[in-house]
Amino acid sequence: MAVREIKQNIYAVGSIDWDRRLFDELIPLPDGTSYNSYLIKGSEKIALIDAVDPTKRHELMANLEQLNINKIDYVISNHAEQDHSGSIPQILELYPDAKVVTNQKCKGMLMDLLLIPEDKFLTINDRETISLGNKTLEFILAPWVHWPETMFTYLKEDRILFTCDFLGSHLATSDLFVTDEARVYEAAKRYYAEIMMPFRTSIKRHLEVIKGMEVEIAAPSHGPVYQRPEFILSAYREWVSDEVKNEVIVPYISMHGSTEKLVNYFVNALIERKISVKPFNLTRTDIGHLAMALVDAATIVIASPTVLVGPHPLVVYAVYLVNALRPKLRFASVIGSYGWGGRMLEQIKGMTTNLKVEFIEPLIVKGYPREEDFKSLDKLADEILKKHKEVIQQ
């Protein structure tokens, strides 16, 4: 990525990863990503805010060379995950006088993950500041977005908040700033769903802190920079709120057509009751789409055939993820089929211990569904409608 100027003496010097398609060997990246690193030239000192993924360190180095940066005084590490910290050791080799500035927790993690020696660190506390001469950096500890050591850095004079992963989006784009809010909204919501959703309670606190600050630009370390921070802050406020939408998501698998027959009937029954429904055939689902649907939905209905004695392994995978992401779902149920027996229902319930949901009467049918099974699905749809009316303001 070319060097871009955000404001005078403030540069984006990171890297765009156009081709990356998987993060953490888990998360699909349909639109690639970027590792944003920022250079701030004060009248006396120079700071680099976060670095880049180690696979892209040559691009960061080239950008620093292009700017004729002969010394860096501070390398600010807002987050120890390697896509931002992994090239810090090389930065320290190139700029041996630089100090890594971060909080105590992040320092320990950088020592563990990257074997950076302890004498390379300058440790800061919450709301502490360092001066670059005519510019001041303030550090705001913001644990659990999404690791325990995460923090924000605020450039006071320019009112820029550097948030690392928080508010970010996995989006490779040549736009330095957000130009297409609808596109960024989708990417940022996917990012929130996959990375941030388990930490809703912490995020609420951090949003309150940010509300008390003057932020003209929000600069995350993935995706474009926000010149209108309220756009992404208001989206986050909605996503972390306790409000749920009149939506049901139905992750499902069918092996011989029985469960699919149930799902198709049930989806139509929900549509007839004016309930939004999102079925996900797990043989071809991008888990990012499933995660995004979980941000708002009131209800999940898991649909599976019985394999040996339990749910289909792809259903197990999906339920495990749903449970790990801790969405604000209120209701859950299970539908499915079996040939001769099994413990599918108990096993699925046993995997959802993080979900604060009320279970609604499930429907597990033997073999191919019959007329009375469709009546049971109508009853399930009626019950969901009733429950939604109780908790959702229309």
Binding site for ligand FEO (CB under 6 A): 79, 81, 83-84, 146, 165, 221-222
* Minimum separation from the CB atom of position 188 to ligand FEO (A): 13
Judged by beta carbon, residue 164 or residue 335, the one nearer ligand FEO is 164
Judged by beta carbon, residue 84 or residue 107, the one nearer ligand FEO is 84
* Minimum separation from the CB atom of position 222 to ligand FEO (A): 6
- Round to the nearest angstrom and report the end-to-end CA distance of the chain: 47
Contact 80, 107 (CB under 8 A): no
Judged by beta carbon, residue 83 or residue 296, the one nearer ligand FEO is 83
CB atoms within 10 A of CB 67: 15
* Minimum separation from the CB atom of position 221 to ligand FEO (A): 6
* Minimum separation from the CB atom of position 165 to ligand FEO (A): 4
* Minimum separation from the CB atom of position 195 to ligand FEO (A): 7
Measure the CA–CA gap between 288 and 186, rounded to whole angstroms: 11
DSSP output for 226-254? BSSHHHHHHHHHHHHSS--EEEEEEEE--
Phi, psi of 255 (to 5 degrees): -95, -40
Measure the CA–CA gap between 73 and 90, rounded to whole angstroms: 15
**Closest C-alpha to 331, from 285, 386, 268:** 386
Judged by beta carbon, residue 221 or residue 258, the one nearer ligand FEO is 221
Tokens standing for 328?
């604000």
Judged by beta carbon, residue 169 or residue 254, the one nearer ligand FEO is 169
Judged by beta carbon, residue 84 or residue 278, the one nearer ligand FEO is 84
* Minimum separation from the CB atom of position 50 to ligand FEO (A): 9
Nearest-CB residue for ligand FEO: 81
Measure the CA–CA gap between 102 and 51, rounded to whole angstroms: 13
Side by side, which strands form the sheet with 38-41? 4-7, 10-12, 38-41, 46-49, 74-76, 99-102, 121-123
Judged by beta carbon, residue 84 or residue 200, the one nearer ligand FEO is 84
The 8-class DSSP code of residue 142 comes to: -
Judged by beta carbon, residue 73 or residue 149, the one nearer ligand FEO is 149
Measure the CA–CA gap between 323 and 360, rounded to whole angstroms: 17
* Minimum separation from the CB atom of position 84 to ligand FEO (A): 6
* Minimum separation from the CB atom of position 82 to ligand FEO (A): 8
DSSP output for 51-112? ---GGGHHHHHHHHHHTT----SEEE-S--SHHHHTTHHHHHHHSTT-EEEE-HHHHHHHHH
